[in-house]
Structure 1
């Protein structure tokens, strides 16, 4: 599959920004605490499912301090319809405990500090920082990965390397482009039966037959 040229990359960038300049996450949250929990729960789980789970979770544990004191079995019960709920329940409680112990109860908006928390990897940290503070970062989920490869923006086989490729290709406005590629991949450039006839980037697609998302 051919890689996109610099001219094509610039055109793709402009089209995405023009069409998705106000794009934000579809996760529902009111503050940084709720955003971080939602993003952690969304790993290998749909935003729609997370949004069904979190109202009860946030009602029961409205802040970091209450979650740090939470009963593990109760948290598991609340989030049991979420994938990998056992590990996620342990992680969000441990995350809250760490925030209370090491960050005076304030969730840090620093990449290294965020990654030090249980359940928070690079992608999760980036998604939180992109959404909450419009950080010039890229995060690669299954949708972004698929779109990046179909458009020839990356040939890398891992999400981390694809993130590097996209960051080098786009350079700025990464917070907009991340959200744009998520929504574009979720609703237009889907894994199965992509809506090619309605695609605003059809002219730049390098894989008209489709690309299997990893």
Structure 2
């Protein structure tokens, strides 16, 4: 595990998301839109939203049809438009129009699950957390970090195996590696800096 961590830190030294945002609220909006939607497409949609609805109090007053039209190129846009308005309403009603800083409060927001909440904590506020998306789950299984298919189990196993100060750089590195190298169908093992120590569990 130590070798995996050190190599991840060496190749992905700066925790990075491939979403564009400048504050926790923008990150929350971008993450909602990015579900089943590429980061690249999400990044083409968010500038218009951030410009028109820069704060929760602006977004909670958004016209549903107008917002839905802005995000119409994104999958599940009908549900996402409803959730974004409902999230903004909840933020202003319960948190003084601010994004809360706890997993318990974040997961009470409409459509916000544990993975999204953890990413908001780590990249929005710099609070140590582990966000387990499909890439992290796949990488954890292939590397033998976990044999579970449950995100919450993998989250806890990573937390037990990795020092808290490395949680963010580690899981964000796994996301990038899973997205660009250790792909679901055709992993690029020949290009992988973990190739010599990876047990390749489940790789055909």
**TM-score category by the smaller chain?**
over 0.9
Structure 1 CA distance for aligned equivalents of residues 79 and 163 of structure 2: 35
Corresponding residue of 1:190: 183
- 1:41 matched to 2:33: yes
Corresponding residue of 1:158: 150
- 1:168 matched to 2:164: no
Corresponding residue of 2:137: 145
Q: How does 1:123-142 map to 2 (within 5 A)?
A: 123-142=115-134
User: CA RMSD, aligned part only?
Assistant: 1.4
Single out whichever of 139-148 and 166-175 deviates more from structure 2: 166-175
Structure 2 CA distance for aligned equivalents of residues 204 and 40 of structure 1: 35
**5+ unaligned residues in a row in structure 1: which ranges?**
1-8
Aligned residue pairs total: 203
Larger relative contact order (C-alpha < 8 A, sep ≥ 6)?
Answer: 1
- 1:114 matched to 2:106: yes
After superposing on structure 2, the runs of 4+ consecutive aligned residues of structure 1 that deviate more than 4 Å are none
**5+ unaligned residues in a row in structure 2: which ranges?**
none
Structure 1 CA distance for aligned equivalents of residues 101 and 25 of structure 2: 11
Summarize deviations over 1:180-201 as a string: whole Å, max 9, x none. 0000111111112211111110
Summarize deviations over 1:11-59 as a string: whole Å, max 9, x none. 1011111211113111001211111100111122211111011111112
C-alpha deviation, 1:129, in angstroms: 0.9
Single out whichever of 77-86 and 161-170 deviates more from structure 2: 161-170
**Structure 2 residue corresponding to 1:84, chosen from 71, 76, 88:** 76
Contact 2:45 2:70 in 1 (8 A): yes
